[in-house]
Amino acid sequence: MKICVVGAGYVGLSLAVMLSAKYNVNLVEISEQKLKLLQQRKSPIRDEYIEKYLAEKELDLNIFSNLAEAVKGADFAIVATPTNYDPHLNYFDVSSVDAVVEQITGISPSTYIAVKSTLPVGYTEEASKRFSTDHLFFSPEFLREGKALYDNLYPSRIIVGAKDTGVGRKFADLLKSAALREDVETLIMEPTEAESVKLFANTYLAMRVAYFNELDTYAATKGLDTGRIIEGVCLDPRIGNFYNNPSFGYGGYCLPKDTRQLLANYSSVPSTLIKAIVDSNTVRKDFVAADILKRNPKVVGIYRLVMKSGSDNFRSSSIQGIMKRIKAKGIEVVVYEPMMKEDTFFNSRVERDLAAFKKMSDVIVSNRMSDDLADVTDKVYTRDIFNHD
């Protein structure tokens, strides 16, 4: 079995590493920086399992910058290129997926193409017609940043959206054969249904974040104990005691863009809830920023830009929205982010000395409480109730 994986982000790299423990895998990446690291068997992203596998496992993993060379003769090609949400188009930008699919169908038409990039609903069927291929299908990923390989090794479920159910089953079996978890629930469905699963799953998670954030906003406004209310609510087993820690809003690479894409797909469908979830995230950030400004700070310190501990991802982190709102009021902002190489972020100073950062900040804004801030808790502003991600 020969497999070509296109894109060395957390989705593509985790799949390439997992599958190469058992199969011949060609990984394609155009970033020179990532290529150099991968050729040295070093991970370009922070993920404990990926780092460990690259350093210690015997992997049949070959690194390419040229797709044409890597995909020839491949049984499956897995496309995991970015599909960022374009606010001007009001849709995902699928140009990178288009370019890869077009190239593969021209070079190796017998190769089956599994798209792992998140897509607007209806893309797979439309693209199959546009590129005159019946070898294109979609398989959503359900991965956490920093734990992508672990989540592929122990998947919650495997879903494949393929017109040809035989091919869909074969691809699902491929993923299952490389996973460590046994008896993985597997669903084979229509491509458009699989695309819907991905967007609705992430929007449900966003809704849960938004719900507990609005609960916290209510409690804070009324002078109530957020933790006690959440504890009482979550003792109901239908609700469950998980994914319930208030924050500055949902952020990261997936939830903001996937909720907006789903809302765009609802343009001709009667609804109120999906729009409310998207709007709630904006309202929450407005509330948090206003609450911080009530302290009348001269200098606000932003503690970490990353989405969560163990991550190196700054993309769309919720704290950035808070930072921008505070700066818009003319307040000086300084950022503590040791992962950053640049000296400024959105025209604010980046301070790498934690002690100096603490001293110069009147208020320290932290999405999650950290032991680093234990000595300045009187300065810290956080909505973290349970001290976990």
Cα distance between residue 29 and residue 331, in whole Å: 41
Q: Yes or no: say if 144 and 151 are a contact pair by the CB < 8 Å rule.
A: yes
Residue 336, Cβ density class (10 Å: 0-12 exposed, 13-18 middle, ≥19 buried):
buried
Of 153, 174, 209, 254, catalytic? 254
Helix (H, G, I), strand (E, B) or coil at 133: coil
Cα distance between residue 164 and residue 136, in whole Å: 10
Indicate if 254 belongs to the active site.
yes
Phi-psi group of 346: left, alpha or beta (phi > 0 → left; psi -120 to 50 → alpha; rest → beta):
left
CA 328 centroid distance within chain: 27
Cα distance between residue 112 and residue 116, in whole Å: 13
Shortest CA distance to 312 belongs to which of 4, 2, 7, 9? 9
Shortest CA distance to 45 belongs to which of 281, 249, 310, 305? 310
Shortest CA distance to 3 belongs to which of 87, 100, 93, 113? 113
Q: What distance separates the 2 farthest-apart alpha carbons in the chain?
A: 65
Question: What residues does 3 pair with on adjacent strands?
Answer: 25, 76
Cα distance between residue 249 and residue 272, in whole Å: 20
What residues are annotated to the active site?
254
